[in-house]
Amino acid sequence: MELYLNATSPYARVARIVLLEKGLADTVTLRWCDPWADDDGLLAVNPVGRIPALVTDDGTTLSESLLIAHYLDTLGGGEPVLPAARLGQTLHLAGLGQGLTDAAFTTIIARKHQGAEADASVLGQRRWRAIQRTLDRLEREVDARPIPAAVTLGEITVAVALDYLTFRLPEVDWPKERPQLTAWHARITEGESFRQTRFA
Protein backbone atom coordinates (compact mmCIF):
# COMPACT_ATOMS: atom_id res chain seq x y z
CA MET A 1 0.00 0.00 0.00
CA GLU A 2 1.00 3.64 -0.42
CA LEU A 3 0.03 6.60 1.76
CA TYR A 4 0.33 10.11 0.32
CA LEU A 5 0.90 12.65 3.09
CA ASN A 6 2.94 15.53 4.41
CA ALA A 7 4.38 16.27 7.83
CA THR A 8 2.05 19.12 8.79
CA SER A 9 -1.37 17.73 7.87
CA PRO A 10 -3.50 16.81 10.90
CA TYR A 11 -5.59 14.56 8.68
CA ALA A 12 -2.54 12.65 7.46
CA ARG A 13 -1.28 12.33 11.02
CA VAL A 14 -4.50 10.60 12.07
CA ALA A 15 -3.96 8.03 9.32
CA ARG A 16 -0.32 7.50 10.32
CA ILE A 17 -1.22 6.97 13.96
CA VAL A 18 -3.81 4.38 12.99
CA LEU A 19 -1.20 2.63 10.83
CA LEU A 20 1.13 2.41 13.80
CA GLU A 21 -1.57 1.39 16.27
CA LYS A 22 -2.71 -1.41 13.95
CA GLY A 23 0.82 -2.69 13.31
CA LEU A 24 0.63 -1.88 9.59
CA ALA A 25 3.51 0.58 9.23
CA ASP A 26 5.74 -1.97 7.48
CA THR A 27 3.08 -2.70 4.87
CA VAL A 28 2.78 0.89 3.65
CA THR A 29 5.17 3.09 1.64
CA LEU A 30 4.93 6.73 2.69
CA ARG A 31 4.77 9.12 -0.28
CA TRP A 32 5.66 12.58 1.01
CA CYS A 33 4.22 15.35 -1.13
CA ASP A 34 2.99 18.93 -1.21
CA PRO A 35 -0.75 18.95 -1.99
CA TRP A 36 -0.67 22.73 -2.58
CA ALA A 37 1.82 22.32 -5.42
CA ASP A 38 -0.46 20.12 -7.55
CA ASP A 39 1.89 17.19 -6.96
CA ASP A 40 1.67 14.94 -10.03
CA GLY A 41 1.91 11.73 -8.04
CA LEU A 42 -0.86 12.74 -5.69
CA LEU A 43 -3.14 13.98 -8.47
CA ALA A 44 -2.68 10.71 -10.34
CA VAL A 45 -4.23 8.79 -7.47
CA ASN A 46 -6.53 11.45 -6.02
CA PRO A 47 -7.77 14.10 -8.46
CA VAL A 48 -9.15 16.14 -5.56
CA GLY A 49 -5.52 16.77 -4.58
CA ARG A 50 -6.06 16.22 -0.87
CA ILE A 51 -4.12 14.22 1.65
CA PRO A 52 -4.07 11.68 3.06
CA ALA A 53 -4.71 9.37 0.17
CA LEU A 54 -4.22 5.63 0.60
CA VAL A 55 -3.65 3.37 -2.39
CA THR A 56 -4.59 -0.17 -1.41
CA ASP A 57 -2.88 -3.33 -2.62
CA ASP A 58 -5.50 -3.75 -5.35
CA GLY A 59 -4.94 -0.21 -6.62
CA THR A 60 -8.02 1.40 -5.10
CA THR A 61 -7.52 4.90 -3.73
CA LEU A 62 -9.17 5.87 -0.46
CA SER A 63 -9.32 9.49 0.67
CA GLU A 64 -10.42 11.26 3.86
CA SER A 65 -8.69 10.31 7.08
CA LEU A 66 -11.66 8.78 8.90
CA LEU A 67 -12.51 6.54 5.94
CA ILE A 68 -8.89 5.45 5.68
CA ALA A 69 -8.86 4.71 9.41
CA HIS A 70 -11.98 2.56 9.04
CA TYR A 71 -10.33 0.57 6.23
CA LEU A 72 -7.07 0.09 8.12
CA ASP A 73 -8.98 -1.06 11.17
CA THR A 74 -10.22 -4.05 9.15
CA LEU A 75 -6.69 -5.06 8.14
CA GLY A 76 -4.46 -4.68 11.14
CA GLY A 77 -4.00 -6.56 14.35
CA GLY A 78 -4.41 -5.46 17.93
CA GLU A 79 -7.39 -3.70 19.41
CA PRO A 80 -9.86 -2.03 17.04
CA VAL A 81 -9.75 1.74 16.75
CA LEU A 82 -13.51 1.55 16.13
CA PRO A 83 -14.59 -0.85 18.90
CA ALA A 84 -18.09 -2.20 18.40
CA ALA A 85 -18.88 -2.02 22.11
CA ARG A 86 -18.13 1.72 22.20
CA LEU A 87 -18.87 2.67 18.62
CA GLY A 88 -21.31 5.49 19.35
CA GLN A 89 -19.03 7.07 21.94
CA THR A 90 -16.00 6.68 19.66
CA LEU A 91 -17.73 8.27 16.67
CA HIS A 92 -19.06 11.10 18.85
CA LEU A 93 -15.55 11.94 20.00
CA ALA A 94 -14.14 11.54 16.48
CA GLY A 95 -16.76 13.98 15.21
CA LEU A 96 -15.75 16.59 17.78
CA GLY A 97 -12.09 16.12 16.90
CA GLN A 98 -12.74 16.31 13.17
CA GLY A 99 -14.83 19.45 13.56
CA LEU A 100 -12.13 21.07 15.69
CA THR A 101 -9.49 20.19 13.11
CA ASP A 102 -11.62 21.51 10.27
CA ALA A 103 -12.17 24.85 12.01
CA ALA A 104 -8.47 25.25 12.79
CA PHE A 105 -7.29 24.14 9.33
CA THR A 106 -9.73 26.42 7.54
CA THR A 107 -8.60 29.32 9.72
CA ILE A 108 -4.99 28.75 8.67
CA ILE A 109 -5.87 28.53 4.97
CA ALA A 110 -8.08 31.64 5.15
CA ARG A 111 -5.25 33.61 6.77
CA LYS A 112 -2.82 32.40 4.13
CA HIS A 113 -4.98 33.61 1.24
CA GLN A 114 -6.95 36.50 2.75
CA GLY A 115 -4.61 37.94 5.36
CA ALA A 116 -5.56 39.30 8.76
CA GLU A 117 -9.05 40.29 7.65
CA ALA A 118 -9.97 36.58 7.45
CA ASP A 119 -10.31 36.40 11.23
CA ALA A 120 -12.59 39.44 11.34
CA SER A 121 -14.96 38.12 8.68
CA VAL A 122 -18.29 36.53 9.49
CA LEU A 123 -16.88 33.11 8.69
CA GLY A 124 -13.71 33.79 10.63
CA GLN A 125 -15.65 34.72 13.73
CA ARG A 126 -17.87 31.68 13.31
CA ARG A 127 -14.82 29.41 13.13
CA TRP A 128 -13.35 31.00 16.26
CA ARG A 129 -16.57 30.48 18.22
CA ALA A 130 -16.74 26.87 17.02
CA ILE A 131 -13.20 26.24 18.26
CA GLN A 132 -13.93 27.69 21.69
CA ARG A 133 -17.26 25.87 22.07
CA THR A 134 -15.73 22.54 21.07
CA LEU A 135 -12.83 22.95 23.48
CA ASP A 136 -15.25 23.78 26.28
CA ARG A 137 -17.38 20.74 25.46
CA LEU A 138 -14.31 18.50 25.48
CA GLU A 139 -13.25 19.94 28.84
CA ARG A 140 -16.61 18.87 30.26
CA GLU A 141 -16.65 15.44 28.63
CA VAL A 142 -13.18 13.91 28.68
CA ASP A 143 -12.79 13.80 32.46
CA ALA A 144 -15.61 11.27 32.66
CA ARG A 145 -14.09 9.05 30.00
CA PRO A 146 -11.80 6.27 31.21
CA ILE A 147 -8.53 6.15 29.35
CA PRO A 148 -8.72 3.00 27.19
CA ALA A 149 -6.08 0.30 27.12
CA ALA A 150 -5.79 1.01 23.38
CA VAL A 151 -6.68 4.34 21.86
CA THR A 152 -9.74 4.59 19.66
CA LEU A 153 -10.26 6.73 16.60
CA GLY A 154 -12.08 9.19 18.85
CA GLU A 155 -9.11 9.72 21.13
CA ILE A 156 -6.72 9.87 18.19
CA THR A 157 -8.73 12.50 16.31
CA VAL A 158 -9.21 14.79 19.31
CA ALA A 159 -5.60 14.52 20.47
CA VAL A 160 -4.30 15.33 16.98
CA ALA A 161 -6.68 18.30 16.76
CA LEU A 162 -5.34 19.67 20.06
CA ASP A 163 -1.75 19.22 18.90
CA TYR A 164 -2.59 20.99 15.65
CA LEU A 165 -4.00 23.96 17.56
CA THR A 166 -0.76 24.20 19.54
CA PHE A 167 1.29 23.87 16.34
CA ARG A 168 -0.59 26.28 14.09
CA LEU A 169 -2.77 28.46 16.35
CA PRO A 170 -0.85 28.85 19.63
CA GLU A 171 -2.84 31.99 20.42
CA VAL A 172 -5.83 29.78 21.11
CA ASP A 173 -3.93 28.57 24.21
CA TRP A 174 -6.38 25.73 24.68
CA PRO A 175 -4.84 24.36 27.94
CA LYS A 176 -5.58 27.66 29.71
CA GLU A 177 -8.41 27.09 32.17
CA ARG A 178 -8.98 23.55 30.83
CA PRO A 179 -7.13 21.32 33.32
CA GLN A 180 -9.16 18.16 32.63
CA LEU A 181 -8.56 18.33 28.88
CA THR A 182 -4.87 19.10 29.42
CA ALA A 183 -4.39 16.08 31.68
CA TRP A 184 -6.38 13.84 29.32
CA HIS A 185 -4.31 14.96 26.33
CA ALA A 186 -1.06 14.26 28.15
CA ARG A 187 -2.15 10.69 28.94
CA ILE A 188 -3.43 9.96 25.42
CA THR A 189 -0.33 11.28 23.63
CA GLU A 190 2.27 9.46 25.67
CA GLY A 191 2.15 6.47 23.30
CA GLU A 192 4.78 5.70 20.68
CA SER A 193 2.44 6.33 17.74
CA PHE A 194 2.02 9.94 18.83
CA ARG A 195 5.72 10.46 19.49
CA GLN A 196 6.69 9.13 16.06
CA THR A 197 4.26 11.41 14.21
CA ARG A 198 4.78 14.77 15.90
CA PHE A 199 4.17 17.79 13.70
CA ALA A 200 7.29 19.15 12.04
Q: What is the CATH number of the domain that holds 52?
A: 3.40.30.10
pLDDT at 135 over 80: yes
This prediction has a pTM of 0.96
Any idea what DSSP says for residue 146?
Answer: P
Do 173 and 90 lie in a common domain? yes
Residues 99 and 44 in one domain: no
What CATH number should be reported for the domain holding residue 179? 1.20.1050.10
Q: Are residues 188 and 120 in the same domain?
A: yes
Regarding whether 179 and 125 lie in a shared domain, the answer is yes
- Domain range spanning residue 42? 2-75
Query: Do 109 and 179 fall within a single domain?
Result: yes
Domain end point (choices 10, 45, 75): 75
Q: CA torsion, points 101, 15, 80, 22, in degrees to nearest 10? A: -150
Domain boundary residue among 50, 75, 100?
Answer: 75
**In a shared domain, residues 33 and 121:** no
CA distance 87 to 44: 34
Rounded CA gap, 14 and 72, in Å?
A: 12
Is residue 7 located within the same domain as residue 43? yes
pLDDT digits (tens, 9 = 90+) for 145-200: 677 778 999 999 999 999 999 999 999 999 999 999 999 999 999 999 999 999 98
Q: Are residues 59 and 119 in the same domain?
A: no
Q: Same domain for 148 and 176? A: yes
Note the pLDDT of residue 36.
93
Is there a single domain that holds both residue 71 and residue 135?
Answer: no
Q: Quick one: pLDDT at residue 106? A: 97
Q: Are 158 and 100 in contact (CB under 8 A)?
A: yes
Query: What is the Cα–Cα distance from 158 to 177, expressed in whole angstroms?
Result: 18
Tally of domains in the chain: 2
Q: Do 88 and 70 share a structural domain?
A: no
Do residue 65 and residue 120 come from a single domain? Answer: no
